[in-house]
């Protein structure tokens, strides 16, 4: 059984990684550096970093707030909120992108108003940020809710009874209690934000140097039969994946509790609805 599992892992995980790096370096290190140093490639890297730098902190804040509200308080519409948080996992990213086109595109609901006021959302950076945020919406909240629920409210109530303010309680008690879970969620959120293709592809318009993120740039290069360059940029994304995995393992080692939360969205949806 172990052998089968290892063979499977090798075929589907290790082999593609090896292919990515070997293809990227197929025309030599010089070509690899040139492909990465290309201004258009750099523009894609910068845009990807910018999008992640905006969407990850926002979703981190939102995820923290939502998890806090859901885990520590009872209120009407709680289950609806949980369902809404799950929505991006359930909807295909392409559909999500199309929804943004329908809302903010030239012929969309708010399109004419936005154009009249000189605001571009679709086929511009704001659209890419919106799409990325939608897709990465659940990661932090989903990671924190079970942890916070398991911890209960006793620590917070103790802090309040000792005279701490709400902010002190959050900062000195709640946050340290979930720090590894939060970091874990941020890590997954970031990996997805940088790697997202479908939703971003629909809203970006593929304008080179302007609205091309790294995954989109890889696709364009590949479609132009510029295989080595495509794999060179792809190798950067693969590196990100490896770093994410390393970080994830480190945190799971630090906080064994995290190992119980499966990373696969579909599994999670099923589990947490019950």
Partner 1 sequence: MSISLRGVSKRFGQFAAVTDVDLDVPTGALLALLGPSGCGKTTLLRIIAGLDAPDRGQVLLDGRDASLWPIAKRKVGFVFQHYALFRHMTVFQNVAFGLEVKKRRERPAAAAIAKKVGALLELVQLAGAADRFPSQLSGGQRQRVALARALAVDPELLLLDEPFGALDAQVRHELRRWLRRLHDELHVTSIFVTHDQQEAIEVADHIVVLRGGRVEQVGAPAEVYDAPASDFVHRFLGQVNEVEVTRRDGRAYLGPLDITEALAARPSRSADAVALIRPHEIEVGRAPGGWPATVLAIRPIGPIVRLDLAADGLPAHAPLEAEMSRDRFAAAALRIGERVTLVLRQWRVY
| Minimum CB–partner distance for residue 40 and partner 1 (Å) | 46
172 binds partner 1 (CB under 8 A): yes
Q: DSSP letter at 106? A: T
| Residue owning tokens 């969205």 | 265
Backbone angle region of 86, left / alpha / beta, with phi > 0 → left and psi within -120 to 50 → alpha = alpha
Q: Rounded to 5 degrees, what are φ and ψ at 145? A: -55, -55
Of residues 161, 223, 225, 256, which one binds partner 1 by CB under 8 A? Answer: 161
Please state, as a whole number, how many other Cβ atoms lie within 10 Å of the Cβ of residue 73.
9
Nearer to partner 1, 179 or 259 (CB): 179
Asked whether the beta carbons of 96 and 135 are under 8 A apart, the reply is: yes
176 near partner 1, judged by CB under 8 A: yes
Judged by beta carbon, residue 92 or residue 165, the one nearer partner 1 is 165
Q: By CB under 8 A, which span of 48-56, 79-87, 119-127, 167-175 interacts with partner 1?
A: 167-175
Cβ neighbours for 207, distance < 8 A, ≥ 6 positions apart: 123
159 contacts partner 1 (rule: CB under 8 A): yes
Answer for the pair 207, 229: CB distance below 8 angstroms, yes or no. Answer: no
Residue partners of 189: CB distance under 8 A and separation at least 6: 56, 59, 60, 63, 136, 139, 140
Q: Does 157 bind partner 1 (CB under 8 A)?
A: yes
Binders of partner 1 among residues 59 to 98 (CB under 8 A) are: none
158 near partner 1 (CB under 8 A): yes
Tokens representing residue 51 in the block: 């999008």
8 A C-beta contact, residue 55 and residue 217: no
Q: Can you read off the two tokens belonging to residue 266?
A: 């579909």
Least CB distance to partner 1 at residue 189 (A): 23
The residue from 18, 94, 95, 162 that contacts partner 1 (CB under 8 A) is 162
Q: Which of 155, 252, 255, 272 binds partner 1 (CB under 8 A)?
A: 155
| From 38, 149, 177, 244, residue interacting with partner 1 (rule: CB under 8 A) | 177
When asked if residue 154 is in the footprint of partner 1 (CB under 8 A), the reply is: yes
Closer to partner 1 by Cβ: residue 27 or 153: 153
Residues interacting with partner 1, by CB under 8 A?
154-155, 157-165, 168, 172-173, 176-177, 179
């Amino acid at each position: 059984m172990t052998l089968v599992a290892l063979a499977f892992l090798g075929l589907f995980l290790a082999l593609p990684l090896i292919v990515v790096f070997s293809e990227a370096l197929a025309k030599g290190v010089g070509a690899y550096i040139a492909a990465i140093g290309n201004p258009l490639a750099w523009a894609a890297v910068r845009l990807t970093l910018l999008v992640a730098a905006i969407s990850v902190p926002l979703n981190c804040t939102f995820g923290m707030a939502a998890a806090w509200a859901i885990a520590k308080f009872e209120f009407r519409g709680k289950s609806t909120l949980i369902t809404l948080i799950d929505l991006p996992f359930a909807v295909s990213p392409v559909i999500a992108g199309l929804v943004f086109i329908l809302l903010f595109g030239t012929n969309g609901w708010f399109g004419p108003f936005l154009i009249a006021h000189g605001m571009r959302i679709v086929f511009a950076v704001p659209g890419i940020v919106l799409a990325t945020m939608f897709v990465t919406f659940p990661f932090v909240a989903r990671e924190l809710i079970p942890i916070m629920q398991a911890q209960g409210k006793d620590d917070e109530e103790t802090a309040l009874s000792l005279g701490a303010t709400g902010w002190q309680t959050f900062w000195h008690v709640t946050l340290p209690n979930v720090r590894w879970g939060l970091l874990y969620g941020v890590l997954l959120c970031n990996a997805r934000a940088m790697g997202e293709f479908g939703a971003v592809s629909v809203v970006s318009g593929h304008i080179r140097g302007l609205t091309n993120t790294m995954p989109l740039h890889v696709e364009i290069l590949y479609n132009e039969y510029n295989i080595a360059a495509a794999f060179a940029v792809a190798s950067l994304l693969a590196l990100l994946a490896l770093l994410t995995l390393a970080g994830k393992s480190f945190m799971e080692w630090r906080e064994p509790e995290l190992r119980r939360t499966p990373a696969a969205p579909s599994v999670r949806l099923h589990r947490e609805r019950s």
